[in-house]
Amino acid sequence: MFLELVFAAWTAVAGGGGDARQSQDPPAPDGPTYVVEIHGELNVAIQARVTRALREAQSHPGSLVILSLDTPGGEVTTMGEIGDAVRKASRGEKGVRTVAFVSGGPWGGAFSAGSFLALACDAIYMAKGTSIGGALPVVPAMTPNGFGLAAADDLAEGKITATLAARFRNYAEQTGRPQGIAAAFVDPMLGVFLVRLPSGAEQVLDAKEIERLRDQKQTVERVREIQANNSGRPLVLTSDVAFEVGFIDGQVESLEQLVTTLGREHTALETLASSPGEQFVKWIDRGTPILILLGIILGFLEAKIPGFGLAGILSTLCFALVFYGRYLLGAAEWLEAILFLLGLALIAVELFVVPGTLYSGVLGGVLMALSLFLSFQSFLIPRDAIDVNVLVHNLVWGSGIFLAAVVCMVGISRYLPKSPLMGRLALAPPTGVEGSASGAAAERALVGRVATALTDLRPVGIVEVDGRRVDAMTEGSYISRGTAVRVTEVDGNRVVVEAVANGNPA
């Protein structure tokens, strides 16, 4: 999740009547072939579908995942999370072969973030007549027509264009593709050429790579211009050109022909359609800020109410829903899961083992918050300007939710106990009765009295004062049944007790 490792390129052999470049044989087709349709703009539902396919493939050795792409792109964050998941699955212990198939359709190819996902795969095949590339990032900006989206440049958004081009180049290096072409998908000013080297071999290089070779006194002959210098537009390749310059592994007419070309069994083909779980993920993603806010507020209410009740259950459920949604997206993995479960365990210890100590509960809350925070980014330490932007966004977003929660908690503490709603919901305690702890006379009668704990106080329980049963709580320490206690404070119907040393009053 956090480290980038170099992975050797893998490509498929020619077959099934399609054009393909020569490479090593694919592994024996002894597992299912999963097809993930990515048609339209990238979103969290598609991310969940890709994650599901990769997990299924990892559980079946010899599996293959085909990403069928016809997309205009999507957000950089979603693009990065899906791309990282694909690369990690390919290079993991249960390495999964991944193939991008630019299938064609309403969009006519894989553009912007779609071309990034294609680069993340081990092999790329394109249907004839489709295109790939055009990944110039856009950012919110003032335009002649008002506020909207405009192309990013090296002076905007932390040099996002140069950073994104570096990511494209890195994926191309890992999968053995021309790095200049990948970078030119993003950088509209970068020229790319097919050149002949002194050895006589032909290779695709960008203008900067050519200049470095010439500085080393090497003769480089330009054979073909793929993209001119300073063209002002990001590179887009048709399937014919992409195959001619060696950027893709082949052209096919259809998905069926691709499956045949890859030497896979059509009977083992499994297309992953949209599932109810993906719609659940979309709901969770949209409601995440509200769920986190409710989780904090309900946790605060639980801390104000003795014992563990409905508020605590609902608070835990809110945080669990957020975490489960991130797990379905593939963003929450073993590290986040360990932190989240450890946080839950510490809170349980606070509630049921050492109530009132606070340390265990606070640490548990911090670990749960940290696990959720990490699940919203695919890195531990920022690698580049894009990661820094994501980190800053998460910090601002998280701080906003926390401040809103603080405002709500202050309002609850100040106004809710006095509100008409609480007056209608709560029963007024009887007056003039010592055991009810109401009124000044009852307070004077109870404070300082010695009682016996009829139940364990964890920290809430029942004590007996002069033969009467009274609900009471401790300041935090656990008191076992049968212990002698003294009433130290009465506030309304709240009776606080402490254990009596050696069972004798002081």
Which tens digits make up the pLDDT trace of 337-354?
888 888 888 877 876 776
| Nearest in space to 434 (alpha carbons), one of 473, 397, 467, 387 | 467
Structural domain includes residue 1: no
- 65 lies in the same domain as 118: yes
Choosing from 172, 201, 230, the residue where a domain stops is: 230
CA terminus-to-terminus distance, the chain: 61
Same domain, yes or no: 161 and 261: yes
Cα(474)–Cα(470) distance, rounded to whole angstroms? 13
> Within this chain, do residues 41 and 140 fall inside the same structural domain, yes or no?
yes
473 inside domain: yes
Nearest Cα neighbor of 204 from 238, 172, 246 is: 246
Please check whether residues 209 and 121 belong to one and the same domain.
Answer: no
Domain of 151, CATH number, reads: 3.90.226.10
Token pair of 141 as six digits: 């900006």
For residue 416, the one-letter residue type is L
The candidate with the shortest Cα–Cα distance to 124, out of 18, 243, 234, is 243
Residue 2 lies in a domain: no
Q: Do 114 and 242 sit in the same domain of this protein? A: yes
Domain membership of residue 10 (yes or no) is no
Query: Which residue is associated with the tokens 């396919």?
Result: 53
> Under a CB-based contact definition with an 8 Å cutoff, are residues 275 and 281 in contact?
no
| Other CB atoms within 10 A of residue 116 CB | 27
Q: What pLDDT score was predicted for residue 418? A: 60
Q: Give the model's pLDDT for residue 395.
A: 85
Question: Could you tell me if residue 6 is inside a domain?
Answer: no
* Separation of CA 471 from chain center: 45
Residue 68 lies in a domain: yes
399/474 same-domain check: no
Are 49 and 89 found together in one domain? yes
Same domain, 209 and 240: no
Query: pTM of the predicted model, to two decimals?
Result: 0.70
- Residue 437, CA distances (Å) to 426, 427, 469, 478 in order: 16, 14, 12, 22
Asked whether residue 374 falls in the same domain as residue 496, the answer is no
CB atoms within 10 A of CB 8: 10
- Which residues, at least 6 apart from 447, have a Cβ–Cβ distance to it below 8 Å? 487, 488, 489, 490
Classify residue 11: in a domain, yes or no: no
In degrees and rounded to multiples of 5, residue 159 shows phi and psi of 55, 50
| The pLDDT of residue 199 | 87
130 burial (CB, 10 Å; 0-12 / 13-18 / 19+) is buried
Structure tokens at 202: 């032909």
Q: Could you tell me if 89 and 175 lie in one domain?
A: yes
Phi-psi label, residue 450: left if phi above 0, alpha if psi -120 to 50, beta otherwise? beta
pLDDT tens digits for 55-91?
999 988 889 999 999 999 988 888 988 998 999 888 7
Alpha carbon 489 to chain centroid, angstroms: 48
Q: What is the dihedral of CA 148, 290, 362, 408, to 10 degrees?
A: 100
* CATH number of the domain encompassing residue 491: 2.40.50.140
Residue 478's contacts (CB-CB under 8 Å, 6 or more residues apart) are: 353, 354, 355, 456, 457, 458, 459
DSSP string covering 412-466, please? HHHHGGGSHHHHHHSPPPPSS-GGGT-HHHHHHHHTT-EEEESS-BSSEEEEEET
Please count the structural domains in the chain: 4
In three state form, how does the secondary structure of 239-258 look? HHHHHHCCCCCEEECCHHHH
The secondary structure of residue 111, as a DSSP letter, is E
Q: Is the dihedral of CA 495, 501, 502, 506 positive or negative?
A: negative
As to burial, measured by CB atoms within 10 angstroms (0-12 exposed, 13-18 middle, 19+ buried), residue 342 is: middle
Q: Decide: residue 193, CB within 10 A, 0-12 exposed, 13-18 middle, 19+ buried.
A: buried
pLDDT of residue 492: 66
Q: Which residues span the domain enclosing 84?
A: 19-186+233-272
Q: What is the pLDDT of residue 131?
A: 96
Q: Reply yes or no: is the peptide bond before residue 459 cis, omega within 30 of 0.
A: yes
β-strands 484-491, 494-499 pairing = antiparallel
Instruction: Identify whether residues 152 and 109 lie together within a single domain.
Output: yes
| 308 and 405 inside one domain | yes
427: in domain:
no
Question: From start to end of 50-151, where are the E strands?
Answer: 64-70, 97-102, 109-111, 123-127, 131-133, 138-143, 146-151
Q: How far apart are CA 51 and CA 448, in angstroms?
A: 62
Residue ranges of the chain with per-residue pLDDT less than 70: 1-30, 92-94, 138-159, 303-309, 351, 354-358, 416-444, 476, 492-493, 502-506
Contact yes or no for 485/479 (Cβ under 8 A): yes
Element housing 13 (H / E)? none
